[in-house]
Structure formats: structure tokens, C-alpha cells
């Protein structure tokens, strides 16, 4: 054991160890709860039944429960989410654990109850919403992403309450809808609730502590050529040839960015901020030289970059193709036609990160901060200045895939780590003094 891990272990509170033991005794109940939760389908747009399931469980276990509805105004405020429907039937569900003496802003645990569609059901070996338990795993859509994480958070907070741990902050467990379609559940909730002191987003990280995340901007490049009969191609300009120049230039942009940009949590990745083409389109008829072509793709960003900076780099790179006489006279058009999301990063010295690292060390896990390259609700918190981390059971390599599953032992481990972290934050003078409410 390293010296620093040893120090962290010594600093674990007695309450932390007791919580860990208590949750170990509840592992069967936790696994069955996840199985039952997975068995209530909640594909984005149709989360009502899962919200009711959760609410019923919370009331049965004496939680204070609030239903929060996304308001129709929110659709105008966030136009990227304007397609959301049936808002009355899809509430966010919030469970609150009150502090006897809340001198600080609340600490939030956040997870989405919506899941992505199953895809071709015939490719699953088990029914996607069976919640079947087998070989120490729970199977079904949403088991990893992220009903397992929500369950770990709920059991962690219930254990804190049952153990009588008094914290100086309220805990809000936000179980939100509409994450997979753009994040309106959390966006709307953040506007209506007090700004938290810290947030753990319980996404599947294989219980790694993720403190930094890349962003992405989708875009399209339109290229024109000049149609001609294939028997006389020299009389036209092939738009496919021209769009391949675009692709080439964009690939070089990715390489240049990779050389120029550096971030300790991204430098070891094979590609730090990937640029990719998802679809390439040219022409419409086998016997005609294509007169239009389109490049559809996206570019990744690092946490310290703004979306506008990256957009400007793409535009400048494509503009350089004016060295080609045809493209000088017929410039490519770049369209940023999908919602971009910026990356984010939480300082590794934040109390939240330290408490989580100490808890994970105590449980003999790996406390090294890590990075992610996918969008999540953590961005909403981080961009509002709230120290946020991703931490949860399950794996992104299970998420959105057939036969999605989560490991039962990992659920308990995550619940223990979250409970210990909250207890540790409750004891932290530094956390308290940073986030103490100013008294009137
Ligand atoms: Zn997710």
C-alpha cells in the first residue's frame, strides 16, 4: 500500500466503516431492487411507469419525495430539446434526506431513469426488460446505464439515514427523465432547485472516478461539383473527389490538434479528441459524375476548449481548401447542424474528489482520477460551477448494447463508496467552510 493510500485509509470515519458493513448486508436487497427496476421499461419519452415505481419504493422506505415536472417553457428555453412530449406523464423524481442542521447547500446525487431503445430484440439472448439475474449479474436495458447507479445512490443514502449519520447538508437524489434525448430533465431541474455544493452523477464508470470529460460538435460539410456524363467525365467536376479533399484536411486537423493540445487525463488515449465521419454522401445516379457531396461527422473537444473555438478551427481548416481553384470559386459550406456540448473538468483538489478517492482507497479500489469522452448530465453541473464527478457501477461498454448487464458485487461496492463519501464530506471542515451558506 502506498503511503498516501495508507493516510487516506486512516482518515476514514468510523461511520464510514459501519456504513460499509451495513451495505454489505443489504447486497441481496439491492440486487433485487435493480432487477425489479430494470423490469419496468422506461425508454426515453415513456418514463412514467418507472417514475411511479421509484416513487412507490421511496415512499415505502420513508423518503421525502418530490415530483418535478419539466415545464413547457423549458422547451423554448432549450430549443435542442424542443421535441420532448408528454411532459405531464414523465416527472423527475427527487428523494431528499434532510439535515438536522443544514448550514450548506445540498449535495446532489443524479441519475437518469430513461433508457435507450433495445434495438433488434432478436439479437438479445435474454428479454431486454426481464431483469434476469444470472451468475452474479443483472441483465436488461438500463442495468448499467444507469438504473444500477441510481439504486446504489438510493441505498447509500438510506444507509446513512438508518445509521443516524447527521450531515450539515441535505442530500438530493435526482432521478431524472429525458437524459438520453438531450438532458432536459436535469436542465429544467437545475433551474428550479438550489445550486448544490457538489454533485455525483452515477453514470457507469466501472467505479472509476471521472473528473474530466471531452465534448463534441457535430457538423456537415457541403461540397458542389459539376455534373457530367460518365462517358465524358473531363467535362465535369467530381464532387466526391472534392469531398475527399475535405476529409483529408479534417483528418490532418485532428492530427495537428492532437500534437498541439495536451491534457494529463487524455494524453494516453489513442486519439485525444476524435474527429470522425459517420456518413459520406455523393451523387445520385450511377451514370452521372456527382455534382454534390456531403460529409457528416463530428469533432471531439478537450475539457478546456470552448465549442466556439473548435468551430472556428474547423471553418479555418476547410477554408484552406481554397488553394484548389474549383473550391476557391465554389467554396465548401460548413454547417454546425447538431447540438454541440462542451467538455468539463473538476479540480482534482475539490473536497468531493478527495472524499471519493479516500473512500475508494479504503475499499481497495483505484482512486486515480480518470476521463470520459461521452456527454452526460455532469456537464450541466460542471458548467454551473458545481464540483461534479461521474462515478457509478456498470460499464460504458455495456451501455446501449445488446445483453446489457451489471455486476451485483459492483452495485454494493458503489453504494459503499458513495455512502462513505457523503459521510466523509459531512465531516470535512474544508468542504463546510467553502460552501457554508452566508447567514443573514
Ligand atoms: Zn447514461
The three cell numbers of residue 199 are: 454533485
SS3 percent helix, strand, coil of the chain, rounded to 5, is 40, 20, 40
CA 184–ligand 1 middle distance (angstroms): 14
Cα(362)–Cα(365) distance, integer angstroms = 7
Tell me the CA–centroid distance for residue 327 and ligand 1, in Å. 42
CA of 241 relative to ligand 1 center, distance in Å? 39
> Does residue 50 contact residue 37 with C-beta atoms inside 8 Å?
yes
Half-sphere exposure of 193 (CA within 13 A, CB side): 31
Q: What value does the mean pLDDT take over residues 420-433? A: 95
Place of cell 498541439: 260
Ligand 1: distance of its center to the CA of 47 in Å?
14
In this prediction, residues 157-170 reach a mean pLDDT of: 96
Instruction: Give dist(CA 248, CA 318) in Å, integer.
Output: 10
Ligand 1 centroid, distance to 125 Cα (angstroms)? 22
Q: What percent of the chain has pLDDT over 90?
A: 88
Distance 55 CA to ligand 1 centre (A): 20
Per-residue confidence at 440, pLDDT binned at 50, 70, 90?
very low
Look at 342 and 430; give whichever has higher pLDDT: 430
Could you please report the per-residue DSSP string of 254-293?
HHHHHHH---TTTTTSSSSS-EEEEEEEE-S-TTB--SEE
Q: How many residues does the chain have?
A: 440
**Residue 24 burial (CB count, 10 A):** 13
Give 111 or 182, the one with higher predicted confidence. 111
Provide the pLDDT for residue 11: 55
Examine the pLDDT at 130 and tell me if it is beyond 50: yes
Residue 1's pLDDT band, with cuts at 50, 70 and 90, is very low
Specify the pLDDT at position 436. Answer: 86
Query: From ligand 1's centre to the CA of 204, what distance in Å?
Result: 7
d(CA 18, CA 10): 15
Ligand 1: centre distance to CA 112 (Å): 7
Lookup result for grid cell 455495456: 398
pLDDT at 16: 81
Closest Cα partner for 373 from 229, 288, 224, 269? 269
Is 64's pLDDT higher than 60? yes
Mean pLDDT, residues 397-405 taken together: 92
Q: Each residue of 295-332: pLDDT tens digit?
A: 999 999 999 999 999 999 999 999 999 999 999 999 99
The predicted pLDDT at position 202 comes to: 98
Alpha-carbon dihedral sign for residues 141, 145, 149, 154:
negative
Omega of the bond leading into 146 within 30 degrees of 0 (cis) = yes
Domain residue ranges in the chain: 3-212+343-435, 216-335
For residues 417 and 365, the answer to whether their CB atoms sit within 8 Å is: yes
Q: What is the pLDDT of residue 345?
A: 96
| pLDDT of amino acid 182 | 85
How many other β-carbons are positioned within 10 Å of the β-carbon of residue 294? 17
Q: Each residue of 211-259: pLDDT tens digit?
A: 999 999 999 999 999 999 999 999 999 999 999 999 999 999 999 999 9
Please give the distance, rounded to the nearest whole angstrom, from the Cα atom of residue 280 to the centre of ligand 1.
Answer: 28
Specify whether the CB–CB gap between 175 and 93 falls below 8 A: yes
pLDDT band at 35 (very low <50, low <70, confident <90, very high): very high
Q: How far is the CA of 396 from the centre of ligand 1 (A)?
A: 8
- At 14 the pLDDT is 73
pLDDT band, very low/low/confident/very high, at 12 (cuts 50, 70, 90):
low
| Inter-residue contact 176 to 92 (CB < 8 Å) | yes
Report the separation in Å between the CA atom of 336 and the middle of ligand 1, taken as the mean of its atom positions.
24
Domain 3-212+343-435 has CATH 3.20.20.70: no
User: What is the pLDDT averaged over residues 362-374?
Assistant: 92
Domain 216-335 fold is: Alpha-Beta Plaits (3.30.70)
Q: What is the mean pLDDT of the chain?
A: 93
Cα-to-centroid distance, 218 and ligand 1 (Å) = 20
Whether pLDDT at 49 is above 60: yes
CA distance 424 to 280: 52
The residue-averaged pLDDT of 27-48 equals: 98
**Strand, helix or coil at 211?**
strand
Taking the centre of ligand 1 as the mean of its atom positions, its distance from the CA of residue 292, in whole angstroms, is: 37
Amino acid at each position: 500500500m502506498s503511503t498516501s493510500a495508507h493516510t487516506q485509509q486512516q482518515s476514514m470515519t468510523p461511520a464510514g466503516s459501519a456504513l460499509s458493513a451495513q451495505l454489505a448486508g443489504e447486497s441481496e436487497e439491492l440486487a433485487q431492487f435493480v432487477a425489479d427496476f430494470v423490469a419496468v421499461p422506461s425508454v426515453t419519452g415513456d418514463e412514467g411507469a418507472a417514475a411511479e415505481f421509484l416513487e412507490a419504493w421511496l415512499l415505502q422506505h420513508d423518503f421525502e419525495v418530490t415530483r418535478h415536472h419539466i415545464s413547457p417553457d423549458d422547451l423554448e428555453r432549450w430549443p435542442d430539446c424542443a421535441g420532448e412530449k408528454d411532459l405531464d406523464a414523465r416527472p423527475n423524481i427527487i428523494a431528499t434526506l434532510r439535515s438536522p442542521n443544514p448550514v450548506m447547500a445540498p449535495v446532489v446525487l443524479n441519475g437518469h431513469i430513461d433508457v435507450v431503445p433495445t434495438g433488434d430484440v432478436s439479437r438479445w439472448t435474454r428479454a431486454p426488460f426481464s431483469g434476469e439475474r444470472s451468475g452474479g449479474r443483472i441483465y436488461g436495458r438500463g442495468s448499467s446505464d444507469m438504473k444500477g447507479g441510481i439504486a446504489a445512490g438510493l441505498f447509500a443514502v438510506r444507509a446513512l439515514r438508518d445509521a443516524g449519520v447527521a450531515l450539515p447538508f441535505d442530500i438530493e437524489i435526482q432521478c431524472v427523465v429525458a437524459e438520453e434525448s438531450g438532458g432536459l430533465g436535469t436542465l429544467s431541474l437545475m433551474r428550479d432547485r438550489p445550486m448544490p455544493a457538489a454533485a455525483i452523477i452515477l453514470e457507469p464508470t466501472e467505479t472509476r472516478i471521472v473528473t474530466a470529460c471531452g465534448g463534441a460538435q457535430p457538423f456537415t460539410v457541403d461540397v458542389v461539383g459539376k455534373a457530367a456524363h460518365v462517358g465524358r467525365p473531363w467535362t465535369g467536376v467530381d464532387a466526391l473527389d472534392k469531398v475527399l479533399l475535405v476529409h483529408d484536411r479534417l483528418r490532418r486537423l485532428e492530427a495537428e490538434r492532437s500534437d498541439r493540445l495536451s491534457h494529463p487525463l487524455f494524453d494516453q488515449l489513442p486519439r485525444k479528441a476524435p474527429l470522425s465521419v459517420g456518413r459520406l454522401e455523393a451523387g445520385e445516379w450511377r451514370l452521372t459524375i456527382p455534382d454534390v457531396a456531403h460529409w457528416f461527422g463530428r469533432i471531439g473537444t478537450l475539457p478546456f476548449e470552448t465549442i466556439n473555438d473548435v468551430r472556428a478551427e474547423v471553418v479555418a481548416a476547410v477554408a484552406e481548401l481554397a488553394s484548389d481553384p474549383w473550391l476557391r470559386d465554389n467554396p465548401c459550406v460548413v454547417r454546425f447542424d447538431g447540438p454541440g456540448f462542451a467538455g468539463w473538468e473538476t479540480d482534482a483538489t475539490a473536497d468531493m474528489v478527495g472524499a471519493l478517492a479516500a473512500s475508494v482507497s479504503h475499499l481497495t479500489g483505484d482512486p486515480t482520477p480518470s476521463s470520459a469522452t461521452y456527454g452526460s448530465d455532469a456537464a450541466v453541473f460542471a458548467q454551473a460551477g458545481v464540483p461534479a464527478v461521474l462515478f457509478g457501477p456498470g460499464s460504458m461498454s455495456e451501455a446501449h448494447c445488446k445483453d446489457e448487464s451489471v455486476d451485483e458485487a459492483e452495485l454494493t461496492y458503489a453504494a459503499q463508496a458513495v455512502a462513505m463519501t457523503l459521510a466523509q464530506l459531512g465531516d470535512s471542515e474544508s468542504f463546510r467552510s467553502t460552501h457554508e451558506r452566508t447567514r443573514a
